[in-house]
Amino acid sequence: MAAVFLVTLYEYSPLFYISVVSLCFVVTAAMVLGWFGFDVPVILRSSDDTESILPTPEKQMVQVTNPFALELASGPASVTDGVSLKPCCLEPCVLSCFWGCEIGALQRGLQAHQHGSRLSTLQHFQETLHLRYHYCQSFHTGCQDGKEHHTQVPADNGITDFGPLPRERYPLVAVLTLAEPEARDMYNIVSSVTVIHVPDDKYRLSARVLFQYLLTSQGNMYELKPLFMSADSVGASGPPDTEQSTQHSEPNSRASGVEQSPVLEEEEEEVEEKKEEEEEEEEEDWSEGRGRDCVVCQNAAVNRVLLPCRHACVCDSCVSHFQHCPICRAFVLESFTLTQ
């Protein structure tokens, strides 16, 4: 009976044609609007679209002041020739370099800090490590002086490597502690532990930072991990690359031994000045947060870090539209706000 009614309606009533055309128009318009980002009823969305708009949980972060900063200085580094370290601290600090520190001794010391034995001075670290290292050297650094300190194992020790892989010792452990007792009461972070690989005769991997730990006065330990910026952000931080290229180009020009005319020298000086101005502008843009655009909308600044991949590549508006990282396609479990 229902089939007969539909056939009769199809043959004699123009309302059937009108209703079919209207339905097709509504569905098509909803699909087009949804394609261009306009809000459409949930019933017209696919299941994938519905899952993708679920908000990403925001991880609550606590902002603290880290008085310690340490980086590897430029130049050659090896166990026999030593390595240069460049601390930049907010307060006067003591830089302690433990060469050939046993891995087990360091891990036991870090665990002891979490269980009540606070590691806030050089003496505390020496007592905790129980002299399970080859050589210790200390330096006193001023407040934000940025002075490089060269540490090296004495040749009398006869140490040229730390054995075959896998090793039982870290090549170098650099510890930063606050020099003044009053400063230890001002900061929650009381010491910084940096594990550094230094190449030797048996393992020639270039010098690099392996781990960085921050120890607090409450007995907590946090591992510092780098954030991965998008390709545009890396390009915005171009001055380090340009400095390396100019440093490599100068020896080549000198080694060629070709005499240049004064006109060419003036032109090269003008080009170098322009490059320096551009580098300064890029550094200002980077410090002010410009040049780090969201990889999705390309308009807003990057202010969200995705976890656990630690890619900083999206803004507040776009972070809620993804379950996968736009860079590495890893699942996004949490995110937190990136502050300047």
Its pTM surpasses 0.75 = no
Confidence category of residue 56, pLDDT binned at 50, 70, 90: confident
Q: Does CATH number 2.60.40 belong to domain 68-223?
A: yes
| pLDDT tens column, 235-266 | 333 333 333 333 333 333 333 333 333 333 44
| pLDDT tens column, 100-143 | 999 999 999 999 999 988 899 999 999 999 889 999 999 999 88
Q: Give the span between the Cα atoms of 221 and 191, in whole angstroms.
A: 10
Q: Give the span between the Cα atoms of 264 and 89, in whole angstroms.
A: 44
**pLDDT of amino acid 256:** 35
How large is the angle between the packed helices 122-129 and 103-114, nearest 10 degrees?
120
Nearest C-alpha neighbor of 83 from the set 67, 98, 93, 94: 98
Neighbouring C-beta atoms of residue 268, cutoff 10 Å: 12
**Runs of H (alpha helix) within 191-238:** 231-236
Confidence category of residue 29, pLDDT binned at 50, 70, 90: confident
For tokens 């990057």, what's the residue?
302
**pLDDT of amino acid 246:** 32
Taking residues 155-166, report their average pLDDT: 89
Given a contact cutoff of 8 angstroms between Cβ atoms, the answer to whether 31 and 44 are in contact is yes
| pLDDT tens column, 271-309 | 445 555 555 554 454 444 444 789 998 888 998 999 999
DSSP 114-169: HTT----SHHHHHHHHTT-SSEEEEEEE-TT----EEE---GGG------SSSPSE
Domain ranges of the chain: 68-223
Q: Give the span between the Cα atoms of 100 and 168, in whole angstroms.
A: 9
| pLDDT tens column, 183-192 | 888 999 999 9
Higher local confidence (pLDDT), 39 or 303: 303
Neighbouring C-beta atoms of residue 231, cutoff 10 Å: 10
